[in-house]
Amino acid sequence: MLDAYLMEWGGMLLRWLHVITAIAWIGSSFFFIHLDASLRPAADIPPGEGGRAWQVHGGGFYEMRKYMVAPAVMPAELTWHKWQSYWTWISGFFLLVWVYYAQSELYLIDPAVMALSPLAAGAIGIAALALGWLFYDFLCKSPLGRNDVVLGLLGFGYVVAASWAFASVFSGRGALIHTGALMATIMTANVFFNIMPGQRKVIAALTAGEKPDPKYGKAAKQRSTHNNYITLPVLFLMLSNHYPVTYANSAVIPVLVALIIVAGALIRHFYNLRHADHAKSPWWCWGVAILALWLAFWLAMASSPGGRERLGLSPPATAKPVLLAGMALPPVEVSTIVSGRCAMCHAPEPSWPGIQIAPKGVLLHEPEFIATHARAIKVQAVMTHAMPPNNLSGMTPDERRLLAAWLGSTR
Ligand code: HEC
């Protein structure tokens, strides 16, 4: 059982690190975007070559100055902003490996979609992230990349197509997290392979006393803009795996992803323009974003098994999960305990007052479901007593011991 505790604690610590680094990264990126938009002309900086902004924070006033492409001489001290991004990617990658590749049978592989081996599933995931970045980079450098709007639309279509591809090999939650991971990999790779090398070349030119080439700044701006617009959709996709209502039906995942990108990008667009000039806030962005979110909500609900039933579209989902090789059905006494103490909430039609769909999408009303959720049952009802919540259904210590005995003999 030690391994199960380790997996849970490891996941918790990695997630902690990931959230902290992501806050630092997204926070500084939002800060600089706002700063860029709020720059005003300065007397001693020629027009088009930078500007100045005043800010107040933490008891002091800051005077910020921006120099495009670079200041005349190299400053003695320079702070770089890159490790927030790198560490977000590194911690995110290890979290992906920890949760989705090391426990792929629980989270990544859905035999009803494709009966992959854990090794194949992990290899597909990692290869997709690497190749996905290469393809995006190729798009940006191709002649198509010269037109920002064309490139933006192509990138949008590309990510939606990728989500479709992920949904045809992985579980619903696996597909959404990989779509988010692909976009986030593009974001960090933009920093690592494009923005940073460009900045280093500018600095090399400055120290050599030459005038830096503005083309590096331009390429970096294009990549930063992409990063800016995909930030909010990426965060939605990163959180989606905690909400089964977002991934209940793989067939609609590409449309959901498209709607979320539209909503997230437009909300960013609103703030990008608003921070430059409050009077020009594009309020229509909110209208379209809310419409997109509303459509996403309806689409997800109407296509999910429980929602279909509520709308009178089809009978309740009764398809039993396919057991993976090596997985055994629980003994009768275990099934009886779980269906007696858990299934009032964790069933297609929960009987517990106030619970309308199975919490977290976890169904425990039949032996096949109990077998596929063995690990989760171990974490929730044996290692901890998180379930039943506040022991509402009155599970006895003897019943937990019986569960523990069975779970000790399963993977
Ligand atoms: C009174 C209703 C109720 C009963 C009974 C109940 N659960 Fe839950 N269960 C919930 C709710 C609500 C959640 C969602 C908790 C949350 O959002 O963190 C949940 C979540 C879960 C999860 C998912 C946890 C996660 O974060 O992914 C598992 C696994 C689970 N329950 C197993 C069980 C088991 C096993 C039993 C019986 C021993 C049980 N539950 C009994 C209401 C119930």
Residues 138 and 275 in one domain: yes
Residues 246 and 202 in one domain: yes
Residues 285 and 336 in one domain: no
Q: How confident is the model at residue 138, as a pLDDT?
A: 96
Q: Is the model's pLDDT at 56 over the cut of 70?
A: yes
Nearest CA residue ID for atom 31, ligand 1:
387
At 183-218, the pLDDT tens digits run 999 999 999 999 999 999 988 988 888 888 888 888
Residues 228 and 346 in one domain: no
Domain boundary among 282, 303, 324: 303
Q: Which tokens in the block code for residue 121? A: 């599933």
C-alpha count within 13 angstroms, C-beta hemisphere, residue 382: 24
Tell me, yes or no, whether 350 lies in a domain.
Answer: yes
Q: Which tokens in the block code for residue 379? A: 């974490």
Tell me, yes or no, whether 29 lies in a domain.
Answer: no
69 preceded by a cis bond (ω within 30 of 0)? yes
Q: Give the distance (Å) from ligand 1 centre to CA of residue 4.
A: 18
Nearest CA residue ID for atom 25, ligand 1:
360
Q: Give the distance (Å) from ligand 1 centre to CA of residue 389.
A: 7
Count CB neighbours of 232 within 10 A: 20
How far apart are alpha carbons 183 and 376 in whole angstroms?
29
Q: Give the distance (Å) from ligand 1 centre to CA of residue 359.
A: 6
Q: Give the distance (Å) from ligand 1 centre to CA of residue 388.
A: 6
388 preceded by a cis bond (ω within 30 of 0)? yes
Residues with a CB atom less than 6 Å from ligand 1: 338, 341-342, 344-346, 352, 355, 359-360, 362, 364, 373, 376-377, 380-381, 387-389, 392-393, 395
At 333-350, the pLDDT tens digits run 999 999 999 999 999 888
Among 12, 241, 344, 346, name the best residue to mutate to test ligand 1's pocket (greatest count of ligand atoms within 8 A of Cβ): 346
Residues 352 and 268 in one domain: no
At 107-126, the pLDDT tens digits run 899 888 899 999 999 999 99
Q: How confident is the model at residue 287, as a pLDDT?
A: 98
Tokens 């005003």, located at residue = 40
Q: Are 261 and 201 in contact (CB under 8 A)?
A: no
Residues 290 and 336 in one domain: no
Q: Are 72 and 62 in contact (CB under 8 A)?
A: no
Nearest CA residue ID for atom 29, ligand 1:
376
Residues 142 and 255 in one domain: yes
Tell me, yes or no, whether 31 lies in a domain.
Answer: no
pTM for the structure as a whole:
0.85
CA angle centred on 113, ends 180 and 6, rounded to 5°: 60
Number of domains in the chain: 2
Atom of ligand 1 nearest to the CA of 341: 37
Domain assignment of residue 160, given as a range: 82-303
Q: Which tokens in the block code for residue 170? A: 């992985």
How far apart are alpha carbons 78 and 203 in whole angstroms?
11
